[in-house]
Amino acid sequence: MRFQPVDHVPDQEFGYWGETLAAWHKQGLPEWVNSNDAADRYFGFAPQAYAPVNIGIIPAFEYQVLEEDDRHRIIIDSGGVKCLVHKDGQASIPKHLKFPVETRDDWNEFKKRYDPTTPGRYPGNWDSIRDELNASDIPMGIHCGSLFGWVRNHMGFENLSITCADDPDFVEEMVEHTANFILKVIDKAVREVKFDYAMIWEDIAFNKGPMVSPAMFRRFTAPGYKRITDLLRQHGCEVVYVDCDGNINELVEVWLDSGVNCMFPLEIRGGSDPYPMREKYGNRVLLAGGVDKTQLIAGKEAIRKEVKRLEKLVEMGGFIPHVDHRCPPDVTYENYLYYLDVKRDAFGIPRPAAYEARVSGSKGSKGSKGGAAARWLPPSQVPGTHISSLTLTSPLAVPRRCPVRQPAC
């Protein structure tokens, strides 16, 4: 991600829906591969780690089931939102019925859960974890939360939209409090660990553009994000990426001016094509994602064309190609394995040995189809793939040691 020659781009992917892994179990994926973390290890992606710093609300709300019928439950989730969910476990967006923050009084009560001094922000064995992180050459990341997206989650889209128009000072107050909280919590970790990248989350865009005007988004979030990214850069963190689905084109400049320099996951059907971003912003912007997931559904010829479409961008550097969101269940397991082979071959990424060979320590098969062996071990028995309990399923890394060849990264 420094636009320097490397032997290959990092071998990373976004992840999978639960329904996807369940469908793939019937198509040959081992049953124990039932989470994104397990899948990352099984497919042999590059390991990464993060600091286990808790920037969520403490305490979380107690999960409650208020009503249920044959198909649905009405619940209070851990964020305090009353919502209707499917009982069959399908990964659809819940129908939100009521939010915990509707008034200033609600916010004054809610923000007590954003107390940086609350016990549990750092684990009790932080010193040993810190030393382990600093001793490793695995790329290190830290979560830095969200400013506008979290407020939207607490208030709901409609209520926040009205408040932006009717009481923008209140929105600024909530965002500023959140930024202050994040800064106070991460300060210790940023000073004690050398981080390669940091992550923020927003998810505030539809397929036609953001749910808030760029001018309003700049007003509310730019000061807070600039303070957060300034702290990170002061301590050597080079890459700050934002996770925002949908069409983010109108927000890219705001993020760049705020110190957020990498866009992810670049949903193609959502309108976030990485080529125009590179053309407009040059090397100011780093990119991760951009492989149209629908082309993995379409078949092998479409997969080859989609990977080839991104070859020039990979050569330019500053881009890590991977599927532009969680892989959906209508992508077959066969097509996904084919995609991994095509991508790895196109961009010089070594195909990992079969999973069983990696576990046993033998050379094994060159192919990425780790499903050929007869015996499977649970992910907890895979040696050398993660740092104790600090595994992160993440799309991005800045390699600490980067051999010099092509392409650029």
Question: What pLDDT, on the 0 to 100 scale, is given for residue 320?
Answer: 97
Position 405 scores a pLDDT of 31
In a domain, 167, yes or no: no
What is the C-alpha separation between 209 and 246, in angstroms, rounded?
Answer: 7
- In this prediction, residues 41-67 reach a mean pLDDT of 95
Secondary structure (3-state) at 321? strand
Mean per-residue pLDDT for 140-151?
97
Question: Regarding beta strands 72-76 and 64-68, do their DSSP bridges make them parallel or antiparallel, or are they unpaired?
Answer: antiparallel
- Considering the domain boundaries, does residue 91 fall inside one? yes
pLDDT value, residue 370? 34
Q: Which domain holds residue 79?
A: 62-99
Q: How confident is the model at residue 409 (pLDDT cuts 50, 70, 90)?
A: low
How many other β-carbons are positioned within 10 Å of the β-carbon of residue 150?
Answer: 21
* Confidence at residue 408, expressed as pLDDT on a 0 to 100 scale: 60
Question: What predicted TM-score, i.e. pTM, was given to this entire model?
Answer: 0.87
Q: Is residue 223 part of a domain?
A: no
Higher pLDDT, 399 or 87: 87
Condensed to tens digits (0 to 9), the pLDDT of residues 264-288 reads: 999 999 999 999 999 999 999 999 9
Overall average pLDDT of the 23-28 stretch? 98
What is the pLDDT at residue 145?
A: 97
Q: What is the average per-residue pLDDT within 70-96?
A: 88
Distances (CA, A) of 278 to 12, 262, 273: 21, 11, 9
Number of domains within the chain: 1
The amino acid that residue 393 corresponds to is T
Q: Which of 240-244, 329-333, 359-363 has the lowest mean pLDDT?
A: 359-363
- Residue 302: the pLDDT is 98
Residue 354: pLDDT above 80? yes
Confidence at 251, pLDDT banded by 50, 70, 90: very high
Q: Is residue 92 part of a domain?
A: yes
Buried b (16+ CB within 10 A) or exposed e, 218-230: bbbbbbbbebbbe
CA triplet 347, 195, 42: central angle to 5 degrees? 45
Domain annotation covers residue 339: no
Whole-number pLDDT of residue 395: 37
Compute, in degrees rounded to 10, the torsion defined by CA atoms 199, 204, 208, 214. -90
Provide the 8-state DSSP code for 257.
Answer: H
pLDDT band at 46 (very low <50, low <70, confident <90, very high): very high
Domain membership of residue 72 (yes or no) is yes
E strand or H helix that includes residue 76: strand 72-76
Checking if the pLDDT of 124 tops 80, the result is: yes
Q: Is residue 381 over pLDDT 70?
A: no
- In the chain, the percentage of residues whose pLDDT exceeds 90 is 81
- pLDDT, averaged across the chain: 88
* Per-residue pLDDT, 5: 86
Least confident range from 44-48, 97-101, 187-191, 369-373: namely 369-373
Whether residue 97 has pLDDT greater than 90: yes
Cα 101 to chain centroid distance, Å, stands at 26
Q: Say if residue 265 is preceded by a cis peptide, omega within 30 of 0.
A: yes
Confidence of residue 2 (pLDDT cuts 50, 70, 90): confident
If DSSP codes are grouped into helix, strand and coil, which group holds residue 133? Answer: helix
Q: Is 86 contained in some domain?
A: yes
134 within some domain: no
Summarised one tens digit per residue, pLDDT across range 189-222 is 999 999 999 999 999 999 999 999 999 999 999 9
Instruction: Give the C-alpha separation, 334 to 313, whole Å.
Output: 26
293-322 per-position pLDDT tens digit: 999 999 999 999 999 999 999 999 999 999
The percentage of the chain sitting over the pLDDT mark of 70, rounded to a whole number, equals 87
pLDDT of residue 93: 78
Residue 50, classed as helix, strand or coil, is strand
Looking only at the bridges linking them, the beta strands covering 140-143 and 49-50 are parallel
Closest CA relative to residue 182, chosen from 116, 94, 230, 110 = 116
